Amino acid sequence: MTKMRSARMVELGRMICEEIDVRPVAEGQLLVKTHHASICGSDLHVVFGGTSLTPPPEPPGFPGHEGVGEVLESRDKRFRPGDLVLTCPWSTDAGCFADYQTITADYCLRLPRYDGPTEDLMMAQQLGAVLFAFRRNRLDLHGKTVMIMGLGSSGQFFAYLAKRAGAARVIASDKSAARIAASSAFGVDVAVMAGIDDVVQTVNDHTDGEGADLLIEAVGSQEALLQSVDLVKASGEMLLFGIPDTTENVSFNFNTFFRKKLTAFTEYGAQHEPDLVSFAQGLRLIASGEIDVSKMVSHTLPIEKIDEALHLAHNRNDNALKVSLSFS
């Protein structure tokens, strides 16, 4: 095996699938045959918004970073050929949109036993990133109201963890009716259709006009950031989790933020956590059945249709929730 199918971004908003050479495996790396890869919101920001922070040329399969596959060659003593692994690479190694990934072993975890499809375990990448944000900030949510902007996989996982942490009420907004419909299974008490319903009024109605104790922005959109400060109570907190959809300056109501004495923080970089602790916890939660992700992936397309898959995820057509790629 010397050739592979790989996605490549040829211009803003368009990717192609082409045949290229498989990259050699260096010391400390693995060659992983990709079984499934999923499209993350941050991938959409890179492809449609040009937000990549890595200089070109990008690695094969970029910007895919959520995948599962089989180790074919190992130059790291922790892994052997035949191991099934979760791949959660940092941006410089991001290559999940390809038949084979040449990836640093530190960005891989062996999959646990699981009765369901391995595609489910792929969701531990996104779940692990959300767990990392919770762990790093030690969020005290007992009896609190949490507002989540965005109900992609990260928003759904935030709702699940907020309820698990004792939140009294979880309110969430999104522009997708399919995501709204799925959210109650993950713990959302009140779901609001952004762009149609009055999100600010809904939050005020359920908090006696005060606003949420904690707001989680899980979209990374300029529109959501601008509205976010109106949804939080005075002296409340804001977790800005969504990867930004632009590298340019954006509008923000600093006066409201200042007058409310809000605290805002960002979080990312779970791939650099020692032993990938949060991703490992995500795998355990899924494999044990504690969290059911079986209906989260709504569409699976072959890698040859990478451009169609990205547009499907970006436009949320056909009730798309999470879009996955297959490599059979």
Q: Would you list the domain boundaries of the chain?
A: 3-123+293-326, 130-266
pTM, entire model: 0.95
DSSP helix, strand, coil percent of the chain (3-state; round to 5): 35, 30, 35
Whether the CB-CB separation of 103 and 89 falls below 8 Å is answered with yes
Distances (CA, A) of 255 to 229, 244, 327: 10, 21, 50
**226's tokens:** 């601008």
| pLDDT tops 90 at residue 66 | yes
Question: What's residue 148's pLDDT?
Answer: 98
pLDDT tens per residue across span 4-23: 999 999 999 999 999 999 99
How much is the average pLDDT of 129-133?
Answer: 96
Distance CA 165, CA 124 (A): 19
CA distance 159 to 167: 9
CA distance 259 to 253: 10
Mean per-residue pLDDT for 279-303?
A: 97
Q: Which residues contact 103 (CB under 8 A, 6 or more apart)?
A: 29, 30, 32, 87, 89, 93, 95
Q: Given this model, what pLDDT does residue 3 score?
A: 96
CA–CA distance, 1 with 100 (Å, rounded to integer): 10
Q: What is the mean pLDDT of residues 153-160?
A: 97
Condensed to tens digits (0 to 9), the pLDDT of residues 205-244 reads: 999 999 999 999 999 999 999 999 999 999 999 999 999 9
Which residues contact residue 254 at a Cβ distance below 8 angstroms, ignoring those fewer than 6 apart?
Answer: none
What average pLDDT does this structure show over 54-60? 80
Mean pLDDT of 292-298: 95
Percent of the chain with pLDDT over 90: 91
The mean pLDDT value for 290-306 works out to: 96
Tell me how far apart the alpha carbons of residues 310 and 152 are, in angstroms, rounded to a whole number. 14
Asked whether residue 55 carries a pLDDT value surpassing 80, the answer given is no
Here the tokens at position 185 are 């299974």
Mean pLDDT for the chain?
95
> pLDDT tens for residues 164-198?
999 999 999 999 999 999 999 999 999 999 999 99
Mean pLDDT within 18-38: 97
| 1 — pLDDT class (breaks 50, 70, 90) | low
Q: Is the confidence at residue 53, as pLDDT, over 90?
A: no
Band of pLDDT at residue 140, cut at 50, 70 and 90: confident
Q: For strand 190-193 and strand 212-217, is the pairing parallel, antiparallel, or unpaired?
A: unpaired
* Residues forming beta bridges with residue 103, ordered by sequence position: 30
DSSP classification of residue 28: T
How far is residue 190's CA from residue 147's CA, in Å, rounded to a whole number? 9
What is the mean predicted confidence (pLDDT) over 303-321? 95
Q: Judging by DSSP bridges, how do beta strands 263-266 and 232-240 pair with one another? A: parallel
Structure tokens at 45: 């920001």
Fold annotation for 130-266: Rossmann fold (3.40.50)
Residues 6+ away with beta carbon under 8 Å from 249: none
Q: In angstroms, rounded to a whole number, what is the distance separating the alpha carbons of residues 114 and 57?
A: 37
The superfamily in CATH containing domain 3-123+293-326 is: Medium-chain alcohol dehydrogenases, catalytic domain (3.90.180.10)
Q: Given pLDDT bands bounded at 50, 70 and 90, which one contains residue 278?
A: very high
Backbone angles phi, psi at 5, to 5 degrees: -85, 135
Strand spans (E) along 131-262: 145-149, 169-174, 190-193, 212-217, 232-240
Residue 131 has what pLDDT? Answer: 96
68 contacts 84 by C-beta, under 8 angstroms: yes
Confidence of residue 199 (pLDDT cuts 50, 70, 90): very high
pLDDT of residue 143: 97
